C-alpha cells in the first residue's frame, strides 16, 4: 500500500518541463490527487533554476547515497540541499514518503521514457499500465546492482520510485509535446498506484519489452583529455534503435569514423545528452529484455 507520494521537478535546474508541471499542479492540486494516497510536490533545485543551470556545485541527482547524506562535512549547495530533501521526504532507510516520481528531461531523442529503479512485478505492472495507455512510452530498467543505500539518485530516498524522462528538448526550453507527454505519463503513474492501492488492477499482458542498462561509453579523447570526435550522424537521434558490431558510433572532427567494437547487438540511450559532456559520456548502452507482468 502506498500512502504518501512525492512528485519532484527541477532536480536539474535547466530541465524546465518538470518545474512548470509542478507550478501547474500546485495551482490545480486536484490533477494530482487520488483517493487512496496523498500527493505532495517538491522543487528539487530552485537555486540552480534561478541560475539557469543544471546545478550550482554538483549534480543534485548524484547526492543521495547514504554515506554522503550522513557526512556533515559536505557543505556544497547540492550537498546541503540533498540533506534538506532527505529530511523532508525521508530519511532514507526509514522514509516518510513511500513513492517518488522524479520528472526529468533529456536532450536525447528518447521519446517518453519510464525509468524503473528496481526489479519486481510491481514495477513491471506499472510499466505495462503506462504503456497500455500510452504505447509510445519506452521502458528503461536502470537497476544498477547497487543497494538502495548505495544508490545516489534523489528518488532512492523512498523505497519505491520511478523517473519520468522525456526528450528531445534542449536544456532551458519548454516544448509543448514534451510537456504533454511528461504530464500524461506522470498522471498515468498516479492512476496505476490508485488502482494498485484499491485492488482494481486490470489484466496485464504476459510480458512487455524493455531495455536494461549495460554500460556507459565515453567520447573519444586525445592524450590531453580533449574531445576529438562527436556522435556519428547514423546514431544521432536513434535512441533505442539497434547498434550492430562495426557500426560507426563517432566521427572525428577531421571526418574519420570510429566504430562500435562490441560483438553483440546493443541499443543506445541518452545519446548525445548535453549534461553528460561534463564527464565526456557519449551514451548508455542497453540490452533488450522482457519483463514478466503476471
Minimum CB separation of residue 223 from its own copies in Å reads 15
Could you give the C-alpha distances from 153 to 60, 149, 193, in angstroms and in order? 8, 10, 21
| Nearer to its own copies (CB atom), residue 28 or residue 218 | 28
Minimum CB separation of residue 251 from its own copies in Å reads 6
Strand duo 160-167 + 281-292: pairing: unpaired
Plot region of 163 (φ>0 → left; ψ -120 to 50 → alpha; else → beta): beta
Minimum CB separation of residue 284 from its own copies in Å reads 16
| Nearer to its own copies (CB atom), residue 56 or residue 118 | 56
Taking Cα atoms as reference points, which of 282, 261, 263 lies closest to residue 273?
A: 282
Minimum CB separation of residue 18 from its own copies in Å reads 13
Whether the Cβ atoms of residue 232 and residue 259 lie closer than 8 Å to each other: no
Applying CB under 8 A, the residues found at the interface with its own copies are 20, 23-24, 28, 52-53, 107, 168, 170-177, 179, 227, 230-233, 236, 251, 253-254, 272, 274, 277-278
| Nearer to its own copies (CB atom), residue 96 or residue 227 | 227
| Nearer to its own copies (CB atom), residue 38 or residue 52 | 52
| Nearer to its own copies (CB atom), residue 27 or residue 94 | 27
Minimum CB separation of residue 253 from its own copies in Å reads 5
Amino acid at each position: 500500500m502506498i500512502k504518501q507520494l512525492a512528485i519532484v521537478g527541477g532536480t536539474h535546474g535547466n530541465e524546465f518541463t518538470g518545474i512548470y508541471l509542478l507550478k501547474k499542479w500546485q495551482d490545480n492540486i486536484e490533477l494530482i490527487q487520488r483517493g487512496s494516497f496523498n500527493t505532495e510536490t517538491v522543487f528539487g533545485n530552485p537555486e540552480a533554476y534561478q541560475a539557469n543551470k543544471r546545478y550550482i556545485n554538483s549534480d543534485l541527482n548524484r547526492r543521495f547515497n547514504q554515506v554522503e547524506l550522513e557526512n556533515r562535512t559536505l557543505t556544497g549547495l547540492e550537498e546541503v540541499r540533498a540533506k534538506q530533501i532527505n529530511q523532508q521526504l525521508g530519511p532514507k532507510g526509514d522514509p516518510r514518503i513511500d513513492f517518488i516520481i522524479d520528472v526529468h528531461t533529456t536532450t536525447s531523442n528518447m521519446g517518453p521514457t519510464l525509468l524503473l529503479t528496481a526489479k519486481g512485478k510491481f514495477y513491471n505492472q506499472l510499466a505495462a499500465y503506462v504503456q497500455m495507455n500510452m504505447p509510445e512510452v519506452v521502458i528503461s530498467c536502470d537497476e544498477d546492482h547497487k543497494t538502495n543505500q548505495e544508490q545516489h539518485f534523489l528518488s532512492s530516498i523512498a523505497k519505491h520510485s520511478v523517473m519520468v524522462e522525456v526528450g528531445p528538448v534542449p536544456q532551458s526550453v519548454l516544448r509543448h509535446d514534451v510537456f504533454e507527454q511528461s504530464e500524461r505519463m506522470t498522471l498515468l503513474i498516479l492512476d496505476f498506484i490508485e488502482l494498485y492501492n484499491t485492488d482494481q488492477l486490470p489484466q496485464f499482458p504476459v510480458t512487455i519489452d524493455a531495455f536494461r542498462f549495460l554500460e556507459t561509453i565515453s567520447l573519444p579523447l586525445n592524450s590531453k583529455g580533449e574531445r576529438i570526435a562527436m556522435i556519428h550522424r547514423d546514431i544521432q537521434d536513434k535512441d533505442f534503435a539497434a547498434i550492430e558490431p562495426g557500426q560507426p558510433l563517432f566521427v572525428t572532427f577531421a571526418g574519420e569514423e570510429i566504430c562500435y567494437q562490441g560483438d553483440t547487438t546493443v541499443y543506445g540511450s541518452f545519446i548525445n545528452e548535453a549534461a553528460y559532456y561534463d564527464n565526456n559520456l557519449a551514451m548508455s548502452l542497453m540490452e533488450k529484455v522482457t519483463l514478466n507482468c503476471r
